[in-house]
Amino acid sequence: MTKNNFTLTLIKPYAVEHGYVGHILARINEAGFRISAMKYTQLSREQAEAFYEVHRNEGFFGRLIEFMTKGPLVVALLEKENAVGSYRRLIGATDPDKAEDGTLRKLFGASVELNAVHGSDSDENARREAAFFFSRLEIF
């Protein structure tokens, strides 16, 4: 995979629990992303804390870790030209109330905390997050 053609998404436990996985994957495919890796897993507290390390000092960190470890989630690598920016547009703002109509967080999120999906925020973080979840043998 070349430099800026992939991003990592999490379909968060909240969205899995509410039965949104199929709807979200359909929209990802319709938007032209190719799924190059995917798994269904549950994060340990340690893994969630490492993934969201940058937010360790935020007041919401404890709730964020609880929310992300609550149940299984879907992790996928998505391939497309300018994948990070393109996917951030598809998912919309973190807070569903501020997200544009038709975006994944507007359609499937409940609040800024209970949002439906994650998308990498830079090419560097996409690479870091891909390595966090997948080995070379799991990327197609």
**Residue 104 within binding range of ligand ATP, rule CB under 6 A:** no
Q: Is 118 among the residues known to form the active site? A: yes
User: Among 112, 123, 127, 139, which residue interacts with ligand ATP (rule: CB under 6 A)?
Assistant: 112
Tokens 């938007």 belong to which residue? 31
User: Would you tell me the crossing angle of helices 123-133 and 83-91 to the nearest 10 degrees?
Assistant: 90
Does 60 bind ligand ATP (CB under 6 A)? Our answer is yes
Question: In which residue are the tokens 């497309």 written?
Answer: 80
Is 118 a binding residue for ligand ATP by CB under 6 A? The answer is: yes
Q: Which amino acid is at 65?
A: I
Residues with Cβ within 8 Å of 135's Cβ and at least 6 positions away in sequence, in order, are: none
> Among ligand ATP, Mg ion, none, what binds residue 94 when CB lies within 5 to 8 Å by partner kind?
ligand ATP
Q: Note whether 123 binds ligand ATP by CB under 6 A.
A: no
Q: How far is CA 82 from CA 7, 45, 86, 121, in A?
A: 9, 31, 6, 12
Contact segment (CB under 6 A) with ligand ATP among 19-27, 29-37, 38-46, 112-120 equals: 112-120
Return the number of the residue (26 or 124) whose C-beta is nearest Mg ion: 124
Q: What element of type H or E holds 8?
A: strand 6-11
Residue with tokens 């920016």: 85
Q: What is the largest CA-CA distance in the chain?
A: 39
Q: How far is the CB of 137 from ligand ATP (least distance, A)?
A: 26
Q: Which is nearer to ligand ATP, 121 or 123 (CB)?
A: 121
Q: Which residues are catalytic?
A: 118
Contact residues: ligand ATP, CB under 6 A: 55, 60, 64, 94, 112-113, 115, 118-119, 121
